[in-house]
Amino acid sequence: MQFRSTRSHTPQVSFKDAVLRCLPSEGGLYVPTAIMDLRQFFMYMDDEISYPELVTAIAPALFQGELNPFSAAKVAESAFNFEPELRRIDDDLSVLNLYNGPTGVFKDFGISFLAAAMEEFLKNSGPAMILSAVRGDAGISMADAFSGREKITSVMIYPSGSIRGLDSSTFVPNGGNIIPIQVRGTFDDCQRLVNETINDRPFADRYNITSANAINPGRLLPQSLYFLYAFIKIKKHLKGDLVFSVPSGNFGNLIAGLYAWKFGMPVNGFIAAMNANNAVGDFIRGKKFIPKPLIRTCSPALDVSVPSNYERLVSFYEEAPAVMHNMVYPASISDEETLDAIAEAWKKYRLLLDPHTAVAFAAARQLVSSREWSGHVHTVILATEHPARETDIIANVTGQPVPIPAKLSALRKKSDPVAVIEPELEALEGAVASCF
Ligand SMILES: *Cc1c(COP(=O)(O)O)cnc(C)c1O
């Protein structure tokens, strides 16, 4: 698979180069130049298939010439000691649990694949450094996926405040390969520092720096595989149409679903489930996208005013606007409706939903009734966060104590950074250099 920038049709780069560069030098985001039909690889798969088996079978076709079957098997095995889990709840409703990874958030799927694929790609070349601005738990996910990977150092910078759940024995000064650095500033400062560092060519080339943030195609494309997995598990129970409801913030998850559709997955639509931060809904309905000020909600991972994948979304609409208008259905869910959805899912199905998944649940409910889908549409809700990470909200609404698995409770412990720096390029570069 070749990639180009959303802003230009040339030059084209390989998957490996797109992963190791993350962003095209001409601006924009990397998108595939052509989409393959993968139906021959997944239409006849047995519904007992495991996730690593599915990844092993499809990745060599997707990344032909770059991941041979042997490498793909290694990547699948080393990335995925956790699996998605499709639960059929009702004739017209399933939940795809994507929260069984090390940090209890669906982002583990993309990050784990990226880390394992990078290690494989670097086998015959020099070392590389992955620099990421992280917030909240993205740091744990990053540390977990990259820790111990050969030839990779993972530098994570995070804004003032604490980071949790890191294991200091994995840090570079202690013989590991992880460098957490606290920046005396905001998350925006951290993102700016990542861009400045990558654009400081002499420094970036010395350490072979790329970024692992959500726009890296090595994170995004593999996410399409769990949509195929859900389809394989559900297909023999389908009587009518199939729709996925996706809690959407930066729109990576939704775009991964659109790629799965382009690969040939028979699907009738995607619900772009947003909270009050719903400006992209206007764009999807054919109007101009006008970013609105950020609103804080009880589903904070969806509090995004300009999605980082916006240009990718636009490229789908430029190609086939009429088709897209029948493929993506926007919905905007208030905090009150989110809490009601948590209560309803518990009462009706004994399901514990985190607020992000509850946005997707409420959006599906809304669309099924307003579009008269009832009775002939099966909706798969993507569950993006483990309920144990939202114990307070869920316990409040349902009156149920939420059990916390041991692996998730360990994530709550505060960690000390390797360095604390001012939000300046020289400070960051100095802190990195002093680790070697
Ligand atoms: C990141 C995140 C989302 C949003 O996913 P995007 O790909 O950014 O749209 C939804 N739910 C949770 C729990 C998240 O962490």
Of the listed ranges 108-122, 316-330, 396-410, 413-427, the least confidently predicted one is 396-410
Does the pLDDT at position 270 exceed 80?
yes
Residue closest by Cα to atom 2 of ligand 1: 301
Strands 152-159 and 128-133 come out as parallel
Does the pLDDT at position 373 exceed 90?
no
- For the CA of 251, the closest atom of ligand 1 is 9
Q: How many angstroms is it from 203 CA to the middle of ligand 1?
A: 32
Shared-domain flag, residues 182 and 148: yes
Q: How far apart are CA 218 and CA 15, in angstroms?
A: 8
Of the listed ranges 17-31, 245-259, 315-329, the least confidently predicted one is 17-31
Shared-domain flag, residues 182 and 95: no
Residue closest by Cα to atom 3 of ligand 1: 301
* The pTM of the whole model exceeds 0.85: yes
The best mutation among 111, 223, 253 to test binding of ligand 1, ranked by most ligand atoms within 8 Å of the C-beta, falls on 253
- For the CA of 249, the closest atom of ligand 1 is 9
Does the pLDDT at position 137 exceed 80?
no
- Residue 283 maps to which CATH number? 3.40.50.1100
Q: Place 372 in a pLDDT band, splitting at 50, 70 and 90.
A: confident
pLDDT of residue 67: 94
- Enumerate the β-bridge partners of residue 143: none
pLDDT digits (tens, 9 = 90+) for 316-363: 999 999 999 999 999 999 999 999 999 999 999 999 999 999 999 999
Does the pLDDT at position 92 exceed 90?
yes
Q: How far apart are CA 427 and CA 109, in angstroms?
A: 32
Q: Is 201 inside any structural domain?
A: yes
Q: Is 75 inside any structural domain?
A: no
Q: Place 435 in a pLDDT band, splitting at 50, 70 and 90.
A: confident
Give mean pLDDT, residues 143-171. 92
Shared-domain flag, residues 315 and 380: yes
Cα four-point dihedral sign 124, 64, 229, 254: positive
pLDDT of residue 349: 97
pLDDT of residue 211: 86
Shared-domain flag, residues 189 and 271: no
Q: Place 138 in a pLDDT band, splitting at 50, 70 and 90.
A: confident
- For the CA of 247, the closest atom of ligand 1 is 10
pLDDT digits (tens, 9 = 90+) for 206-238: 999 988 877 899 999 999 999 999 999 999 999
The best mutation among 99, 216, 248 to test binding of ligand 1, ranked by most ligand atoms within 8 Å of the C-beta, falls on 248
Shared-domain flag, residues 404 and 425: no
Give me the amino acid identity at 353. Answer: L
Mean pLDDT of all residues in the chain?
A: 94
Q: Place 147 in a pLDDT band, splitting at 50, 70 and 90.
A: very high
Q: Is 310 inside any structural domain?
A: yes
Q: How many angstroms is it from 276 CA to the middle of ligand 1?
A: 15
Q: Place 22 in a pLDDT band, splitting at 50, 70 and 90.
A: confident
Q: Which residues of 329-349 are buried (b: 16+ CB within 10 A; e: fewer)?
A: bbbbbebebbbbbbbbbbeee
Give mean pLDDT, residues 97-116. 94
Q: How many domains does the chain have?
A: 2
- From the list 146, 155, 193, 198, the residue with the least C-alpha distance to 173 is 155
- For the CA of 356, the closest atom of ligand 1 is 11
Shared-domain flag, residues 386 and 241: yes
Q: How many angstroms is it from 247 CA to the middle of ligand 1?
A: 7
The best mutation among 96, 100, 103, 105 to test binding of ligand 1, ranked by most ligand atoms within 8 Å of the C-beta, falls on 105
Shared-domain flag, residues 263 and 403: yes
Q: Is 184 inside any structural domain?
A: yes
Q: Is 76 inside any structural domain?
A: no
pLDDT of residue 23: 83
Shared-domain flag, residues 151 and 34: yes
The best mutation among 99, 109, 258, 302 to test binding of ligand 1, ranked by most ligand atoms within 8 Å of the C-beta, falls on 302
pLDDT of residue 276: 98
Of the listed ranges 36-50, 79-93, 145-159, 408-422, the least confidently predicted one is 408-422
The first and second tokens of residue 322, run together, are 């009429």
HSE at residue 64, side-chain half, CA atoms within 13 A, is 10
The first and second tokens of residue 407, run together, are 């692996």
Of the two residues 414 and 248, the one the predictor is more confident about is: 248
Give mean pLDDT, residues 240-264. 97
**CA dihedral defined by 356, 357, 362, 363, rounded to 10 degrees?**
80
Q: How many angstroms is it from 70 CA to the middle of ligand 1?
A: 32
Shared-domain flag, residues 270 and 140: no
Structural domain of residue 393, as residue ranges? Answer: 82-105+220-408
Q: Is 77 inside any structural domain?
A: no
- For the CA of 136, the closest atom of ligand 1 is 15
pLDDT digits (tens, 9 = 90+) for 296-313: 999 999 999 899 899 999
The answer to whether 59 and 114 are in contact (CB under 8 A) is: no
Q: How many angstroms is it from 260 CA to the middle of ligand 1?
A: 18
Q: How far apart are CA 311 and CA 354, in angstroms?
A: 29
Shared-domain flag, residues 122 and 101: no
Residues in contact with ligand 1 (CB, 6 Å cut-off): 105, 107, 247-253, 301-302, 356, 384-385
- For the CA of 255, the closest atom of ligand 1 is 7
Residue closest by Cα to atom 8 of ligand 1: 250
Q: Which residue has the tokens 């789908």?
A: 316
Quick one: which H or E segment has residue 197?
Answer: helix 187-199
pLDDT of residue 9: 87
Q: Place 121 in a pLDDT band, splitting at 50, 70 and 90.
A: very high
Collapsed DSSP state (helix, strand, coil) of residue 190? helix
pLDDT of residue 141: 85
Shared-domain flag, residues 160 and 43: yes
Shared-domain flag, residues 191 and 96: no
